[in-house]
Every structure is written in structure tokens, then in C-alpha cells.
Amino acid sequence: MVKLGIQLTVLIGSTVPKPASSVLIESLANVEVTHSAQERSGFQLRFRAGRSASLVERDYPVLKSGELKPFNRVILVVIFNGKPQVLMDGVITHQQLLPSNNPGESSIVVTGEDVSVMMDLEEKIVEHPAQNETIIANKIIASYAKYGLIPQVIPPLTDKPPLPTERIPVQHGTDLDYLLKMARRHGYVFYITPGPAPGTNTAYWGPPKRLGLPQSALSVNMGSNTNVESISFEYNALAATTVSGQVQDRDTNKVKSLDISSSKLFPLAQTSALKQSQVRTVVPKPIQGLSESQAKAFAQGITDTSLDDVVVAEGTLNALEYNGILQAGALVGVRGVGNQYDGFYYVKSVTHQLQTGQYKQQFVLTREGLGSTTLAVVP
């Protein structure tokens, strides 16, 4: 166990991760973990790399054990307020030695990504005949069972299996690329979260989680209730996108008009950027073998995804002052910044920074426009 203002357990190994050696634990200087609700998550561990001047000891002790070899699996479990949480389950992909002429200043840094990186190592050409994208997503995720993946696949409303005589879905690229490509067509996301238990991971393929109980509010300029060290907001008037054009219906072979100018996402803002006086419009992408309803669903995905970049908030908090761990891929309330930017946001990513006596989090929040939809948020 390492005490960094909280408790941290490090498991590491080539196949089944085991508790890290005492040499490794005592050398650990700081930990950084980034959770993303839209792409791969990652981690970085920095170790002090001291060694004696003896000619016998030619290598750094933290390297001699082989625990930091590339593709070793790393599991980090943090205990905060008495509750354990798996902070990262990933694979080492990069090792860096930073020797110094000054005693005690040499260090070794290992960087890695969550287990979805193992889905991105082999490009393939694979046919998936008579299978809809829900089945394909479940099948791909199941093939990585050795990493403890628990599939959480939400079927799209218009996900019908194509007839082999009309169209056969063909995967060109890695499994991860294909999962992300299928997700984007529906305005979905795909990402992996560690846990709930060490050695297991939840593989989520579905819409952004904009429903559910919000996390404790991020409070700004509220005296003793303030729990945010810094925060800034940006409004991008060019982000919101509508879709307008024509598509050919597979079932009737007729050309149909297609116009998507509103979002199917649960609203987090009082006024969506889609209601601006000027909004970017694109034509639907030509995809063969789609029914009218499927083409509309794919176009809806373009509009819904574009709203992720309208209002973006970035900031830093102290986890001890926040009295909790902010989670990516969920809702959080913001208060104290005025009605235009107060209210609920979707947590797009969180970076955890741990070192002795300190636990900070950098966060990125998003929503589709201005104005709060509620008079108050959960404290």
C-alpha cells in the first residue's frame, strides 16, 4: 500500500497482475491517470531511479525485476473515504529512462493505455454477414474475455441485420477502429472503464450517459463551499451541425429527402446551439444498402455528436476538498458561475494526478448550449 493522502494499491504482471514489489512501491513518485468517455484512457507512473555506485549493481533496481516491461498489465486501485475503486486497468506501452548527474534525480517513467489498446494492434478484413451492429459489437468485445471485459452494449433503435443479398458488413481495420466507426454512425461512444472489481473492465458501446443521478456539484466562488481550484468556459458557435439532403431508400429504391435539425439527446442546456441564427449544415454521407430509417439514424448521429463541442469547460479540483472522485462518462452540476454557464454538464474526461499528500483532478465538461435547465444542482 502507498499512502498518497489516500491509499493506492499497485498490481502488475505479464499475465495475472500481482502486488508490486516493495522496491517498486518505495520508488513510486507520482501517478497520472486519464479517463475518457470517448476514446482510450491512459496512465503514467513515475519512479525514482536511484542506484548505488557499486560496479556490481550495474542496473537500476526498479528495472531489474522486469515488472515495468512493455505490455505488462497494470491495475491501480485507490481507496478514497474507505471505498475502493479501480482507477486503471491497462498495459504498459512506453518506457522512458531519465538519468541525471545529480544524486537522487534520475527517474523512470512508464506510460500505458487501458486494455482497449489490445484491440488496436491488428488490422483485419472480416465479413459479418447477416449481423447487425449490436451483434457485431458484442462479438468483438467477447473475443477479449481474457482482459475481463464485461460488455454493456445498448442496441440502436434502427439496428436491423442486412440481408446478405443486399449488403454484407465488412470490417477494414482493427477491432477498436471498427467499434468506434459503428458507434459514431449512431451518435454513440465506445470506451472501457476499469472495474467494478480488480481484473474486470466494463466495455460500454452506447449513447453518452446524459441521464442518471448527477455527481456532487462543482462549486465556484461560494466561500467555504468552493471546491474548484480553477475553471474556464468556451462557447464554439461553429460546432453545432445539421444534416440536409437526399438519400436512396434501400427498401423502395426511391430518393427521399432527409433533414435533421434537432437533437435526440437529453437536453442539458436551456438553449441549444442548434437554435442559433446560423448553423453549419452538411449533406448526408452516401452509404449503400441503408433504409430511410437507418440513413436518418446515421444523420442524427452526426448532429448529436457535433453538440459535444459547443460549450466546453475545463478546470482543476482537489479531490480532498471535493470529498470524492469525479467520474468521466456521467453528469455533474456546476454552480456559482452565473445562469448562462451554471447547470448540468456531461463529464467528457478526467485526469487524476496523485502524489504524496495530494490528489488533484483535471476535468473537461461539455454540453450543447447556454442556460441552466434547473434552479439548483445537487450540492
Full pLDDT tens readout for the chain, 379 residues: 444 457 999 999 998 899 999 999 999 999 999 999 988 999 999 999 876 655 445 778 888 889 999 999 999 999 988 889 999 999 999 999 998 888 778 899 999 999 999 999 999 999 999 999 999 999 999 999 999 999 999 999 888 888 888 889 999 999 999 999 999 888 899 999 999 999 999 999 999 999 889 999 999 999 999 999 999 999 999 999 999 999 888 778 888 899 999 999 999 999 999 999 999 999 988 776 778 888 888 899 999 999 988 999 999 999 989 999 999 999 999 999 999 999 999 999 999 999 988 899 999 999 999 999 999 898 8
Give the residue from 357, 365, 243 showing the smallest Cα distance to 296.
243
CA distance 83 to 327: 14
Q: Give the single-character DSSP code of 20.
A: P
The DSSP letter of residue 117 is G
Residues contacting residue 26 through CB under 8 Å, at least 6 positions apart: none
Asked if 62 and 21 count as a contact pair (C-beta separation under 8 A), the reply is no
Tracing cell 430509417 back to the chain, one arrives at: 293
How many Cα neighbours within 13 Å face the side chain of 172? Answer: 1
Spatial contact of 215 and 326, defined as CB atoms under 8 Å apart? yes
pLDDT digits (tens, 9 = 90+) for 252-310: 888 889 999 999 999 999 999 999 999 999 998 877 677 888 888 889 999 999 998 89
pLDDT reported for residue 357: 83
Overall CATH class of domain 122-206? alpha beta
Q: List the beta bridge partners of residue 114.
A: 90
Q: Can you say whether residue 55 is alpha, beta or left, with left for phi > 0 and alpha for psi between -120 and 50 degrees?
A: alpha
pLDDT value at position 312? 98
List beta partners, residue 366.
Answer: 312, 346
Q: What is the β-pairing status of strands 331-335 and 215-219?
A: parallel
CA count, 13 A, side-chain hemisphere, 182: 31
Q: What's the distance, Cα to Cα, between the start and end of the chain in Å?
A: 32
Give the C-alpha separation, 294 to 291, whole Å.
5
Question: CA 222 to CA 218: how far, in whole Å?
Answer: 10
Phi and psi dihedrals of 284, rounded to 5? -65, 145
Please state, in angstroms and rounded to a whole number, the distance separating the CA atoms of residues 252 and 379: 54
Say whether pTM exceeds 0.75: yes
| Nearest of 91, 76, 87 to residue 14 by alpha carbon | 91
Q: Which CATH number fits domain 2-115: 2.40.170.20, 3.30.1490.20, 3.30.560.10, 2.40.10.10?
A: 2.40.10.10
Angle between helix 292-306 and 175-185 (nearest 10): 100
Q: What pLDDT, on the 0 to 100 scale, is given for residue 4?
A: 46
Tell me how far apart the alpha carbons of residues 345 and 210 are, in angstroms, rounded to a whole number.
8
How would DSSP label each residue in 153-206? E---TT-PPPPTTT---EEEE-HHHHHHHHHHHTT-EEEEEE-SSTT-EEEEEE
Tell me the C-alpha distance between 356 and 350, whole Å: 20
Bond prior to 207 in cis (omega within 30° of 0): no
